[in-house]
Structure 1
Amino acid sequence: MKAIRHAFTMIELIMVILIFGIIAMIGADIFVKIYDNYIIARTMNTLQTKTELALEQIARRLQYRIKDSTIARKDSNLSQYKFLGDADESYHILEWIGYADEALKGEWNGTMNVPGWSGFIDLDDSNKTHVATPGSHLSYADNIIKTLSNNTISLATAASAPAIVMDGHVGDYKVSSYGWHPHADHNYTFPVTKQDETTLNFVDGTTSKEIYEHYKMAWTAYALVPSCPSGVTDDCNLSLYYNYQPWYAERFDQDANSSLLMEHVSTFKFIQMGDSIRLKLCVGEHFYDKNISFCKEKVVF
């Protein structure tokens, strides 16, 4: 007796093909969504890491700022600036003078770490031409400053010398007295050269000076500057400018070195609250038809 063989009908075959097609379509869509979510998550993680690193670099420099020197400028006109505490959101460039923290820490002399500059002045041995700064080892300060400035600034060269800033001002406070462009007034910043390990000579020995017991040494100002294509405000580059000296009428857009901190910046805002500065940085990334963005805030004291 012959065995009976059963076969698929045409309708059954068509139904099987349709079912497999539906399953394949659904599966492909799921895989596409999984891949998209992975790319978005990876992009967000990358943006978060870059933003945090950029803010950390900014904070490390801002924490060693001479607080009264911090100003805000408008983008289009460098003659317009205000003390940061008086600036509003129309000011987008942040600029300040930083004191030489690395030179303050000094070098190891084989027994102990000796500061390059101590920050103290012996008022009994100081006048309008020089200041005595006991506890300093100014050769250490000079070596460190020359290294950081690529040998362009030195305590041995009057034409490109660091400056000292006294802690405290008598009379009316003027932020313009730090030498900011376009003002030539630098009554708060006094360029100095090294006479010996504990004595600083004023480059200008005739200008009237208020000398106090404490000072900070500075070799550069810094500027955080967003630069955007024409007509664009939400896709900019944020750069740090450094290695320029306002007390010699230098300005960041002509005399400074620069380093790119972050690309595709959509927001860079800052505000001063008391002695602290609050920063907000937002960056974006285009992904097919999506715009992915990440924002981070940081307070610097």
Structure 2
Amino acid sequence: MKISRSAFTMVELVMVIVIFGIIAMISADIFVKIYDSYILTRSMNNLQSKTELALDQIARRLQYRIKDSTIARKEVDGTDYLFLADADDSYHILEWIGYANEAYKGKWDGTKNTPGWSGFIDLDNANTDKSGVSSPGSRFDFANSIINSLSKNSVSLDGSADHTAIVMDGHVGDYNVSSYGWYPWHDNNYALRVKCHGGACSGSGLMQLDFIDTNSSKEIYEHYKLAWSAYAIAPECPTGVTDDCNLTLYYNYRPWERQRCDQDANHTLLVEHVTTFKFNQMGDSIRLKICIGENIYDKNISFCKEKVVF
């Protein structure tokens, strides 16, 4: 009995091997492209998260700015600055005075939440003159403890450390942004240094503030804001590099005390590898733009985002 067996010929085997090789090459190329796409997508999502986080941190602080105090500088240690609305793209550093929002919210006094400072001045009160102001509804002992904690004991309303300042809402006559005390120091007629009445944040000092400068005349209005710190956002770049910088936040310094961000402030890194940091003012609104970059497979990718702060 003869048994016949079928088998692949050499040609058929070669063809099968060739086909499998082609499929393997195509599959490998597909897998490489899928992996590259995954890496790129992950990097873009990471850049997006970093950009949004940095913008949110800046916007939250700018939200509580004293709007007329905002300036732009060319260098962090330089003397060249302008009111933000007058600055162009050659000004890279954003700087402003913030009002004490946490102290404004105050504390629980046992029956209700009471603001640390009310923002109102009693213009008819006999204690409101060039030596001080009366601010009904305030609890400056609350404001003092909150500001003292936030400033790491460097600011106090009792006069034992750096002074807080009050800024009146509404200027008359010629407006001059340098009057907030910015370096190079001119004057601080808009940021008036104060302490609790008699240096004690109790008794009459709960609702009265004394001006440190009691001699000069002052423009006093019904509304004010209490401030304990200025802030600055500055890109810090290697020498000769403009498109790969670290964005740094400076805080806890006081222009009205002749302090400057590059010498007297605390600072913290906001985000690395910033390729673009731009800002401009439109009316009372500030428009911010940040781009962050990353190198993937010898290719530079970046993500940009803009935000408007009112």
Q: TM-score, normalised by structure 2?
A: 0.94
Match of 2:174 in 1: 172
CA displacement at 1:72 relative to structure 2: 0.3
Rounded Cα–Cα distance in structure 1 between residues aligned with 2:109 and 2:29: 68
CA displacement at 1:268 relative to structure 2: 0.6
CA displacement at 1:132 relative to structure 2: 0.7
Aligned residues of 2:115 and 2:139 also touching (Cα < 8 A): yes
Task: State whether structure 2 residue 254 is matched by structure 1 residue 267.
Answer: no
Provide, for residues 241-280 of structure 1, a one-character-per-residue CA deviation record: whole Å limited to 9, x for no partner. Answer: 1000000110101110111111111111001000100111
* Amino acid across the alignment from 1:140: F
Candidates 178, 186, 191, aligned match of 1:184: 186
CA displacement at 1:17 relative to structure 2: 1.5
Rounded Cα–Cα distance in structure 2 between residues aligned with 1:161 and 1:76: 23
CA displacement at 1:291 relative to structure 2: 1.6
Cα distance change on mapping 1:77 and 1:154 into 2, 3 Å: closer
Task: State whether structure 2 residue 33 is matched by structure 1 residue 39.
Answer: no
Match of 1:231 in 2: 240
Candidates 138, 141, 153, aligned match of 1:139: 141
Match of 1:96 in 2: 96
Match of 2:153 in 1: 151
SS at match of 1:85: helix
Task: Report how many aligned residue pairs link the two structures.
Answer: 301
Rounded Cα–Cα distance in structure 1 between residues aligned with 2:238 and 2:6: 73
* Amino acid across the alignment from 1:205: T
Provide, for residues 62-91 of structure 1, a one-character-per-residue CA deviation record: whole Å limited to 9, x for no partner. Answer: 011100000000037610000001001111
Identity of aligned residues (%): 69
Aligned residues of 2:65 and 2:98 also touching (Cα < 8 A): yes
SS at match of 1:18: helix
Q: What pairs with 1:212-291 in structure 2 (closer than 5 Å)?
A: 212-291=221-300
Provide, for residues 144-173 of structure 1, a one-character-per-residue CA deviation record: whole Å limited to 9, x for no partner. Answer: 101111111110126501100111222210
Provide, for residues 197-237 of structure 1, a one-character-per-residue CA deviation record: whole Å limited to 9, x for no partner. Answer: 00101112123311111111000000000011111111111
CA displacement at 1:48 relative to structure 2: 1.0
Q: What pairs with 1:58-77 in structure 2 (closer than 5 Å)?
A: 58-75=58-75
* Amino acid across the alignment from 2:45: N
Aligned residues of 1:158 and 1:193 also touching (Cα < 8 A): no
Rounded Cα–Cα distance in structure 2 between residues aligned with 1:158 and 1:122: 26
Aligned residues of 1:184 and 1:249 also touching (Cα < 8 A): no
Structure 1 unaligned spans of 5+? none
CA displacement at 1:13 relative to structure 2: 1.9
Q: TM-score, normalised by structure 1?
A: 0.97
Rounded Cα–Cα distance in structure 1 between residues aligned with 2:172 and 2:7: 105
Rounded Cα–Cα distance in structure 2 between residues aligned with 1:40 and 1:246: 45
Rounded Cα–Cα distance in structure 1 between residues aligned with 2:11 and 2:241: 60
* Amino acid across the alignment from 2:179: S
The worse-fitting range, judged by mean Cα deviation, of 182-191 and 219-228 is 182-191
List, as ranges, runs of 4+ consecutive aligned residues in structure 1 with deviation greater than 4 Å: none
Match of 1:209 in 2: 218
Rounded Cα–Cα distance in structure 1 between residues aligned with 2:131 and 2:166: 13
Cα distance change on mapping 1:146 and 1:159 into 2, 3 Å: closer
* Amino acid across the alignment from 1:35: Y
Structure 2 unaligned spans of 5+? 198-204
